[in-house]
Amino acid sequence: MTACINTVAFHGIEGQGLDVQVKISNGFSNCTIVGSSYSHQALSILIFLAVISFLILLPGQAVAQVRINDVSGLNETIVSEIRTPVTEEDVQEAIREALSSNKKISIAGRRHSQGGHIMTDQAIVLDMTGFNKIINLDVPASLLRVQSGVTWAQIQDYLNPRGLAVKVQQSSNIFTVGGSLGANIHGRDPRFGTIIDTIRSFRIVTPRGEILTVSREENADLFSLAIGGYGLFGVITEVELEVVQNSVLRRINSVMSCKDYISFLDKNIRNDPKIEVHYARPDITKRNFMKSCLVTSYIRMADKPEQLQPLMQEKLVEGSKWLLNLSRKTDWGKDARWFIQEALLDETGAPEIISRNNAMRPPIEFLDYKSEADTDVLQEYFIPIGNSESFISDLGKIVSNENINILSITLRFIKKDDQSSLPYAVEDGVAFVLYINHGKDESAIAHAKLWTQKIIDAALRNNGTYYLTYANYASREQFAAAYPLGVNFFEKKRFYDPSLVFMNKFYEMYGD
């Protein structure tokens, strides 16, 4: 518990007994020590104890600064404090304190947004992982209500024995629902678009401390702003989302050229209602970069299994970690990894029967990587289907010329988003998900910024966009070109939050 002494008050007349109050606060609740009619000797002892308590209970101010970072390790920031609220009243109190003390509030979950979205200097950071309860399941309506700090893994654990699954989540299940809304994430089911398509309503604590229910019918303006709003419009506390049957799927793998894949995606995937999960993994080795693609589709066989399929747990984590690290450091490691993936792990033509929940929880633990010298980062680009072949060519040249250390690329279909106020999927297209390793030193970061801006330029030339969730290496001009609705988005931010109490480095980079 981080505690602080707010006041030491004395009441009385010199030479007579004094009333002494020492108020100690942990951020959400207060306690007061009251002494009446103390002698001067007793008063001296009490003051001495108060000073000792001040030094013991104030490690953030007397001993060390409070720091926060995201998963990339590139955005360490000194903040005022990190709180873990568990009620909406806790959030309201934090807002009142921030407004009265002229501080800012940032919002964090699992801390996987990599563009400064979860912090700003000297902010009160609200760690929302304490909002971790599943509230209600309405089976006839196929609606699940959860608190915003609940992870997709928790939801899968809850839904699987009930024969249900989520519609849209990231490819891994470690993220919170609230963070997923804030980034308006998308998944791998080509039938659905971004997560906004699957949200029925949510509760939000606004910059004024009001608690509102938000839906397409009620406070509709905030519905399109807060989803994909990166925590700038308030704190989402509860979410009502749509669920589906935990269907039985058959996995089919095939190999084709990446150029042929674009046409295959357009003709065979985007409009097939039986395909529930789909992605492609291009070859990322130097001599065959993005020449061939390993294509995976999960096709529905039945609405629900005859027998419950338990949730699968990860296997061979340490071996997979070792192989990925070899791929980080050497080109022949990338060659070996691609061979193992193509020939052994994803054998073409070998069907596998699997539940939807298991198809939506691929291995993730082996990606955990911590190093003082370098880091793994994600980037994502959204390109119209008709321009994707051109973008593949442009991307290949940039990767080669700039010697970018690509660890993997995944291609997915992304449906047009016509609901959010800051859409990245402006038309049906291909999502290019890049997993990259680069150094943490200043020159490596400067180089990463350079080649990132070159890739963004290539995306813009092909009428595409980039994902705002990752490092904010884009210039302000590139942001304006990719997100022309950004001007209106930030105007609405200042309308709903005139004191700018909710703040992060993303806004400071592009919204000021």
Q: What is the pLDDT of residues 420-442, one digit of tens each?
A: 999 999 999 999 999 999 999 99
Structural domain includes residue 487: no
pLDDT band at 114; cut points 50, 70, 90: confident
Structure tokens at 508: 């400071």
Q: Which of 380, 387, 385 is nearest to 408 (CA)?
A: 380
In this model, does residue 20 exceed pLDDT 50? no
Compute the distance between CA of residue 120 and CA of residue 123 in angstroms, rounded to an integer: 6
Residue 240: how many other CB atoms lie within 10 Å = 19
Compute the distance between CA of residue 420 and CA of residue 492 in angstroms, rounded to an integer: 13
Structural domain includes residue 58: yes
Compute the distance between CA of residue 382 and CA of residue 53 in angstroms, rounded to an integer: 55
Using CA atoms, how far residue 48 sits from 8, 26, 30, in Å, is 12, 21, 21
Compute the distance between CA of residue 32 and CA of residue 3 in angstroms, rounded to an integer: 12
Q: What angle do CA 372, 469, 99 make, to 5 degrees?
A: 95
- Checking 38-43 for CB contacts under 8 A at 24+ apart, the result is 43/18
Tally the domains of the chain.
2
CB 347 within 8 A of CB 253: yes
Compute the distance between CA of residue 141 and CA of residue 131 in angstroms, rounded to an integer: 24
Residue that terminates a domain, selected from 62, 87, 109: 62
Compute the distance between CA of residue 79 and CA of residue 67 in angstroms, rounded to an integer: 6
Compute the distance between CA of residue 302 and CA of residue 248 in angstroms, rounded to an integer: 5
Residue that terminates a domain, selected from 62, 79, 109: 62
Under DSSP, is residue 429 helix (H, G, I), strand (E, B) or coil?
Answer: strand
At residue 106, the pLDDT reads 97
Q: Sign of torsion, CA 51 54 56 60?
A: negative
pLDDT band at 47; cut points 50, 70, 90: low
145-156: average pLDDT: 97
Compute the distance between CA of residue 387 and CA of residue 488 in angstroms, rounded to an integer: 28
Distance, CA of 100 to chain centre: 29
CB 383 within 8 A of CB 429: yes
Structural domain includes residue 484: no
Q: What is the mean pLDDT of the chain?
A: 88
CB 224 within 8 A of CB 214: no
User: What is the tens place of the pLDDT at every residue in 314-350?
Assistant: 888 888 888 888 999 999 889 888 888 776 655 545 4
377-393: average pLDDT: 97
Extended beta strands in 427-511, E state: 429-439, 465-466
In this model, does residue 11 exceed pLDDT 80? no
Using CA atoms, how far residue 1 sits from 24, 29, 337, 453, in Å, is 12, 11, 46, 43
Q: Which residues pair with 279 in a beta bridge?
A: 296
* Tokens 């990132």 belong to residue: 452
Structure tokens at 389: 């072949």
Structural domain includes residue 470: yes
pLDDT band at 465; cut points 50, 70, 90: very high
Share of the chain above pLDDT 70, in %: 86
**Gap between the terminal Cα atoms of the chain:** 35
* Tokens 């109490």 belong to residue: 501
At residue 29, the pLDDT reads 40
Structural domain includes residue 507: no
Compute the distance between CA of residue 323 and CA of residue 408 in angstroms, rounded to an integer: 13
Instruction: Give the domain CATH number at 282.
Output: 3.30.70.2520
Structural domain includes residue 341: yes
Compute the distance between CA of residue 310 and CA of residue 398 in angstroms, rounded to an integer: 44
Task: Give every CB contact of residue 349 below 8 A, 6+ residues apart in sequence.
Answer: 252, 253, 254
Weakest-pLDDT range from 212-226, 311-325, 476-490: 311-325
Provide the domain limits for residue 298: 248-475
Compute the distance between CA of residue 31 and CA of residue 24 in angstroms, rounded to an integer: 5
Using CA atoms, how far residue 471 sits from 172, 247, 325, 379, 445, in Å, is 20, 36, 22, 8, 10
Structural domain includes residue 219: no
Compute the distance between CA of residue 314 and CA of residue 362 in angstroms, rounded to an integer: 8
Structural domain includes residue 89: no
131-144: average pLDDT: 98
